Structure 1
C-alpha cells in the first residue's frame, strides 16, 4: 500500500503543478479578492476532487465516460463557465483602464483613496470564491475521466475501494491546496506590485485570455 501511495503522490504532484483552469482561477481570485478568497477558491477545487472521487467510487464516472451525451453536456457547461470567468476578468481590465483615464487629473489624495478601496468589480466573498473553485472542478469532466483511469491503477488488490479511493483523492487534494495556496500567498505578498493599475490590468487581460482559451479548447474538444 505504501508503494502505491508514494507512486500516486508523484503522479498527482505532476498533475497538480500542470497549468490549467485551477491555476488561472486561483491567480485571478488572489489578484482581485485577496489571499483569503484565493485560499477558499483552492479549498473549493479540493472539494471538487472529492466529488469526482466519490463519483468514481460509486460508478458515476464510468457512466459519464460511457455516455457521450452526458459527457458533452458537462463539457459544454464547463467551457461556458470558464469563458464567463474569462469575460469577467477582461471586463475588470477594461474598467481599470477607464478608471485610470478618469483619475489622470484627479488629486493625489483622491487617487490614493480610490486605490485603497480597490478597483474594478467588488472583491469576491470567501463563500463565492469557494463556489467558483468547486464549480471549476466539478464542471470539468476531464477530471472525472482522469480519476477513472488513474486511481484504479494505485488501488492494491484486496484493498477497500471506497476508502482507498478517498485516501488517494485526499493526497491529490492536499497537494492542490498546498500548491494553489502557495500561489495565493505569493501573490498576496507581492500585492503592492500586482495592484499597480497597469500591472493589474495586464494580469487581468492575461488571465482572462487564458480562461477564454481554456474554455474554447474544452468547448471545441474533438468528440471522443
Structure 2
C-alpha cells in the first residue's frame, strides 16, 4: 500500500481552509438551520467528495477532462448552477425576517450541496491533479476513498468550528440584519466563485 497519507494532510489543508462554495453554504446553513442545516450541507459536500474519489479511481475523470467539449459543458453547467444558487441566497437575504437559530429549516439541502460540489470544475481538477499524487502508483479506488475520507474529516472539523464561532458571535445580535448579511454576502460569494471558475 503506497498511499501517502502523511503528505496528503498538509497538501489538502490549504484547500479545506480557504473560503469557497462549501464554506459559504455551510455558514448559511448553520445560521438558518442550526446543527440540522450544517449537517445537510456537510452530508451533501461529503457525498460530492466521495463521488470525485470514485470517478477518478475508476478513470472516468481522466476521460471527462480529456474531452474538451464535455469538460467545457460541465464548466458551464457548474457555473449556471452556482449562479442560480447564489441568486437564491441573495433573494433569501433580501427577504430575511427575524431568525430563531436552528428553527428555520436548512436553507441548503443535501442535494444542493452535493451538486455544488460535483459540478465544481475546481473540485474535479483537485482530485485529478493534487489528490492523485498521494494515491500511489496503482491509484486504486480504495486509496482515493481513503484520501476522500481524510479530506471529509478535516473539512467537517473546520466547518463545525467555523460555524460554531459564527453562531456564538451572533448571540444577542439583530438576527434579521445578520441573516441579510450572511445570505446576501454568501450569494454574492457564490456568484463570484462561479464567474472565477468560468473564466479561469
TM-score, normalised to structure 1, is: 0.78
Where does structure 2 lack aligned partners over 5 or more consecutive residues?
Answer: none
Shift of residue 183 of structure 1? Answer: 2.4
Q: Residue in 2 aligned with 1:105?
A: none
1:165-184 alignment runs, 5 A limit: 165-184=144-163
- Would the aligned equivalents of 2:40 and 2:106 in 1 still touch at CA under 8 Å? no
Counterpart Cα distance in 2 of 1:90 and 1:76: 21
Counterpart Cα distance in 2 of 1:116 and 1:21: 24
Shift of residue 195 of structure 1? Answer: 5.4
Counterpart Cα distance in 2 of 1:193 and 1:17: 28
Change (3 A) 1:10 1:3: farther
Whether 2:116 is the aligned partner of 1:136: answer yes
- Would the aligned equivalents of 1:46 and 1:174 in 2 still touch at CA under 8 Å? no
User: SS of 1:218's equivalent?
Assistant: helix
Counterpart Cα distance in 1 of 2:47 and 2:102: 29
- Decide which of 90, 100, 106 is 1:124's aligned counterpart: 106
What CA RMSD, in Å, does the superposition of the two structures yield over aligned residues?
2.6
- Which consecutive segments of 4 or more residues in structure 1 shift more than 6 A? none
- Decide which of 92, 112, 132 is 1:152's aligned counterpart: 132
In the TM superposition, what whole-angstrom CA distance separates every residue of 1:50-108 from its partner, at most 9, and x where no partner exists?
10011001111001111112111211111111111211121122213xx6xxxxxxxxx
Q: Residue in 1 aligned with 2:53?
A: 53
Q: Residue in 2 aligned with 1:11?
A: 11
Counterpart Cα distance in 2 of 1:133 and 1:171: 19
Where does structure 1 lack aligned partners over 5 or more consecutive residues?
Answer: 100-113
- Would the aligned equivalents of 2:12 and 2:151 in 1 still touch at CA under 8 Å? yes
Counterpart Cα distance in 1 of 2:172 and 2:15: 29
User: SS of 2:4's equivalent?
Assistant: helix
Q: Residue in 2 aligned with 1:214?
A: 193
- Bigger Rg, structure 1 or 2: 1
User: SS of 1:34's equivalent?
Assistant: helix
Counterpart Cα distance in 2 of 1:23 and 1:117: 18
Q: Residue in 2 aligned with 1:197?
A: 176
Q: Residue in 2 aligned with 1:39?
A: 39
Q: How many matched pairs?
A: 200
1:67-106 alignment runs, 5 A limit: 67-96=67-96
